[in-house]
């Protein structure tokens, strides 16, 4: 508005100056020669032209000001968005730094645990190897049931001890599983089919195991019945009276009949060497 007022004032002054110049020319002409008055229409037209030109300049200036104001608002909005993004990046960087610090602490703890584990491993591995040897000797001294299966289990333990892709904890777990299986044999009853050398001939028989107390066998035709003598460490024939007892025990172990009392040969305590 100040610019418009200044331009209108300049136009008015211009018109006034033009009129004064015109009259001064008239007065001078009166003294020297014939007075020639300027055309008022031309003076007015020039004045209007100047005024219109000033008005156009004012509009152009106002338009530029408006454009600059809009551009300024847009730049201000972008600036605020950038500030928000910077604040978020700062918060995220702080979060990542805390994560990195926590990971570094975990790495330190893990490295310390690895050192401690290496020390423990040096002591536990020899113990595990000794446990496998002990289990193998125990099977050799035990009554000869499921020998092939039990020996294969020990052989498998020896193999995994030399495999690098199996952790020490997994090796230890499998050794403990093998001991647990051997322990369970002392408190159950089992019937299974196998082969036995009888009088120099390999024959198929049915074995009856009652814990680790008694191990007997019987041929499918029930003509021969025998047991493992712990004192002599060999198979011996049983009297004919035990035929029905072993037969009944086999049926009980196979869950074909309900459990009942049966008579089987068992060494007295202290009789085994």
77-90 mean pLDDT? 88
Q: Domain end: 152, 182, 212, which one? A: 182
Compute the distance between CA of residue 13 and CA of residue 6 in angstroms, rounded to an integer: 11
Q: Are residues 171 and 204 in the same domain?
A: no
Question: When comparing pLDDT for 120 and 221, which is higher?
Answer: 221
Q: If we measure between CA atoms, which residue out of 268, 196, 202 comes closest to residue 236?
A: 196
The token pair that represents 16 in the structure block: 């006034």
Burial of 171 (0-12, 13-18, 19+ CB in 10 A): buried
239-263 mean pLDDT? 87
Burial of 185 (0-12, 13-18, 19+ CB in 10 A): middle
The token pair that represents 240 in the structure block: 């004919």
- The C-alpha angle with vertex 63 and arms to 58 and 69, in degrees rounded to 5, equals 125
- Per the prediction, the chain carries an average pLDDT of 79
Band of the pLDDT at 155, cuts 50, 70, 90? Answer: very high
* Domain membership flag for residue 148: yes
Q: What contacts 259, CB < 8 A, 6 or more positions away?
A: 252
Domains: count for the chain: 3
* Domain membership flag for residue 70: no
The predicted-structure confidence for 160-170, as pLDDT tens digits, reads as follows 999 989 988 89
The per-residue b/e assignment along 252-269, b for 16 or more CB within 10 angstroms, e otherwise, is: bbeeeeeeeebebbeeee
pLDDT at 222 over 60: yes
Compute the distance between CA of residue 146 and CA of residue 140 in angstroms, rounded to an integer: 12
Q: Are residues 249 and 193 in the same domain?
A: yes
Q: Are residues 156 and 192 in the same domain?
A: no
Q: Are residues 134 and 170 in the same domain?
A: yes
* Domain membership flag for residue 46: yes
* Domain membership flag for residue 79: no
* Domain membership flag for residue 78: no
pLDDT at 90 over 50: yes
* Domain membership flag for residue 27: no
The predicted-structure confidence for 95-104, as pLDDT tens digits, reads as follows 999 999 999 9
Q: Are residues 9 and 39 in the same domain?
A: yes
Q: What contacts 196, CB < 8 A, 6 or more positions away?
A: 202, 203, 205, 217, 235
* Domain membership flag for residue 202: yes
pLDDT for 44: 53
Lowest mean pLDDT among 7-11, 108-112, 160-164, 248-252: 7-11
Compute the distance between CA of residue 266 and CA of residue 229 in angstroms, rounded to an integer: 9
pLDDT for 204: 92
Compute the distance between CA of residue 20 and CA of residue 218 in angstroms, rounded to an integer: 152
Structural domain including 234 reads 188-253
pLDDT for 42: 58
pLDDT at 19 over 80: no
* Domain membership flag for residue 116: no
Q: Which residue is it, tokens 């021969």?
A: 224
Q: Are residues 162 and 209 in the same domain?
A: no
Q: If we measure between CA atoms, which residue out of 51, 22, 53 comes closest to residue 39?
A: 22
């Amino acid at each position: 508005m100040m610019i418009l007022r200044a331009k209108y004032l300049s136009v008015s002054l211009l018109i006034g100056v033009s009129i004064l110049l015109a009259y001064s020319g008239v007065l001078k002409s009166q003294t020297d020669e014939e007075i020639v008055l300027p055309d008022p229409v031309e003076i007015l037209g020039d004045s209007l032209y100047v005024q219109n030109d000033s008005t156009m300049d004012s509009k152009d200036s106002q338009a530029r000001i408006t454009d600059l104001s809009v551009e300024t608002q847009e730049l201000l909005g972008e600036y605020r968005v950038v500030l928000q993004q910077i604040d978020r990046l700062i918060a995220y960087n702080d979060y990542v730094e805390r994560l990195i610090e926590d990971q570094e602490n975990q790495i330190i703890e893990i490295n310390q645990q690895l050192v401690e584990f290496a020390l423990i491993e040096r002591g536990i591995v020899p113990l595990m190897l000794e446990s496998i040897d002990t289990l193998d000797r125990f099977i050799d001294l035990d009554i000869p049931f499921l020998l092939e299966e039990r020996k294969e289990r020990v052989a498998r333990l020896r193999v995994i001890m030399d495999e690098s892709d199996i952790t020490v904890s997994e090796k230890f777990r499998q050794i403990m599983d093998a001991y647990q299986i051997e322990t369970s044999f002392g408190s159950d009853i089992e019937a299974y089919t196998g082969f036995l050398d009888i009088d120099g001939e390999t024959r198929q028989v049915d074995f009856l195991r009652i814990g680790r107390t008694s191990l007997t066998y019987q041929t499918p035709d029930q003509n021969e019945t025998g047991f493992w003598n712990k004192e002599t460490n060999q198979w011996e024939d049983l009297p004919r009276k035990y035929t029905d007892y072993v037969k009944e025990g086999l049926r009980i172990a196979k869950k074909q009949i309900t459990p009942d009392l049966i008579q089987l040969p068992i060494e007295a305590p202290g009789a085994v060497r």
